[in-house]
Structure 1
């Protein structure tokens, strides 16, 4: 046990990972050590997996497709950082999509390619890394999506441009197929259900149009005030005629 912990510590130090060695456990491969460091267990999520273990998800029309980050933002969805660094810690609740922070540098692409190959070659290991890459590819279409996630502190870009990050995720997902039992199915389903409600998009358009600029807010208040005065004057005129 001491030898395993010592080796895991050396491997994670080589990868510049801050994950505690005790969270990794016994591993048979260097990639498995690093993979476990990216996917530390989340207690609440572990109970959720047990509860839905025998339930096979059923895809409805469009549930396997999710909009880009900019489109989700226009639909009223806000982006925030997750509380953990686990790539499994992607949640959606109350119009807020939480994503773990990820640092993108020159080694990220080769690292993800190796991890995806490792998952595909080991049956029963899981597909969390592949599901994460496919999810990120869905919400990242171009550099504008990367810029939005960067402004929220979710993506820390060490490459030359936001377009390079978008191209990286788009190329990584080419050989990845959607698994109907992946751990992000429920998140996709809830996001799509939220986007299909017209009120959420109307509210988002109202906020983007009138509540991002203080002068626009003042103009809106002035219009509402004038409209209220017009209604009051009309009611007063009707009451005057009725009394006469």
Structure 2
């Protein structure tokens, strides 16, 4: 079947309970299909088309030739006639939407395995199995009716979906991605709202154990002052408006902090939030500044680097202005995601911080650098002299000719 209809989905009523089943249902993966009933002569499916939002129920019949053998078929049809599934179209639609979302989650798991390897997935399974009793105890209602295998699979699929969804949310997509959750912002917002519901949440301890290595730390403690201490060279760009980070140099557009700057920026940000959600350049830039400016030292550093021209007088006024402007701002990802990721990697590199400390303490100016080099030369010469003396003493002790006593004088007259 997979050879004749590649990448299509199918189901059949042929099984150990229905050895004579002859019905095969094949459908395009763009449709969401769930099988409600499989009998030897009947297959009933619910179909949902996400493009047209149309849903319906369809029954496939392949009756036996003998009248007596067809009696079970008529009994099945009578039961279907009174079934609430056929009478409640809205319930069917919700059920199919749920099934569609479950299939989408499994696609996330497949892509996750391709990106991070099957070993990572197996490690996730090992952690879930290890903590299964603790995870089950976190739920108010009993989960004993779910088998261990199904429970582990459910936790795995939902956890990976949350992980991939959160990582993808931080990025900014200009073109269509092929993922309906991100091609329309309303779907992404709906998922966020669903994740906040208590009945949809997974135990935080489980997510913390699984997600620890995957998320970068940005915005909590990392500031411009700390980036400078790690050796990041911050440069103000008066010509171009773009921000870049290459080879340890963070280039940023310059701006002047005036009395009307906050009012101007707030109006531009409001315009972007309402009409340019996917091109909110000013909102993203202000958010980037908000992450990295926490103290007056950060502002003074940017003033010295030529990034900010402070006409407000006090550095504290700039800190307060930048930190307040992001309050209530809708988070739709950021164009600075990749830059933030590279900055964190650069800061986490111990060699970069060590070299920065060396330059800042021992080579901060010409005189300090000259004194440092002179001290190193003296230290090297002293070390060479010490090693030479030790080697000389060692050679003297190991020379057998120098340890022999002189011969006694002759008694011959």
Q: Do they fold alike, i.e. is TM over 0.5?
A: yes
Determine if the alignment matches structure 1 residue 212 to structure 2 residue 367: no
* Per-residue Cα deviation, 1:158-179 (whole angstroms, up to 9, x for no partner): 2122221111101111222443
- 1:19 aligns with none
Would you say 1:74 and 2:226 are equivalent positions? Answer: no
Whether 1:195 and 2:350 are equivalent positions in the alignment is no
C-alpha separation in 2, matches of 1:51 and 1:130: 16
Q: Determine which of 228, 237, 240 is the counterpart of 2:389.
A: 237
Partner of 1:128 in structure 2? 281
Distance 1:66 1:128 in 2: 24
Retained in 2: the 8 A contact 1:82–1:101? yes
Q: 1:53 to 1:226 in 2, by over 3 A?
A: farther
SS in 2 for 1:79: strand
Pick from 276, 280, 297 the counterpart of residue 144 of structure 1.
297
Bigger CA radius of gyration = 2
Aligned residues: 193
2:306 to 127, 148, 153: 153
Unpaired segments ≥5 residues, structure 1: 1-48
The residue number in structure 2 matching 1:11 is: none
Mapping of residues 1-244 of structure 1, within 5 Å: 54=177, 60-63=215-218, 67-82=222-237, 84-86=239-241, 89-122=242-275, 124-180=277-333, 182-244=334-396
User: What is the SS of the residue equivalent to 2:306?
Assistant: coil
Q: Contact 1:66–1:191 at 8 Å: present in 2 too? A: no
Q: CA offsets per residue over residues 128-174 of structure 1, 9 Å max, x none? A: 11110111111211222111111111111221222211111011112
The 3-state SS of whatever aligns with 1:216 is helix
Q: Measured at CA, do residues 123 and 81 of structure 1 come closer, stay the same or move farther in structure 2, by a change above 3 Å?
A: closer
**Residue 39 of structure 1 corresponds to which residue in structure 2?**
none
Q: Deviations over 1:179-227 (max 9, x none)?
A: 33x2110110000110000011111111111111444323322321222
Unaligned runs of 5+ in 2: 1-171, 183-213, 397-413
Deviations along 1:84-107, one digit per CA (max 9) or x if unpaired, are 342xx0100111100001111111
Structure with more strand by fraction: 2
SS in 2 for 1:92: strand
* CA distance in 2: counterparts of 1:123 and 1:155, whole angstroms: 26
For residue 230 of structure 1, report the CA deviation from its aligned partner. Answer: 2.1
- 1:110 Cα deviation from its structure 2 partner: 0.6
Matched residues in 2 for 1:205 and 1:160: separation? 31
* Cα distance in structure 1, aligned partners of 2:378 and 2:237: 44
Write the distance in 2 (CA, Å) between the matches of 1:152 and 1:192: 21
* Matches of 1:66 and 1:92, distance apart in 2: 19
- Rounded Cα–Cα distance in structure 1 between residues aligned with 2:371 and 2:277: 59
Change (3 A) 1:133 1:50: closer
TM-score, scaled relative to structure 2: 0.43
CA distance in 1, matches of 2:389, 2:176: 68
For 2:301 and 2:394, locate their aligned partners in 1 and report how far apart those are by CA, in whole Å.
58
Asked if 2 retains the 8 angstrom alpha-carbon contact of 1:69 and 1:145, the reply is yes
Q: What value does the CA root-mean-square deviation take over the aligned residues?
A: 2.8
1: CA distance, partners of 2:304 / 2:178: 37
> TM-score scaled to structure 1, two decimals?
0.70
Q: 1:85 touches 1:101 (CA, 8 Å); kept in 2?
A: no
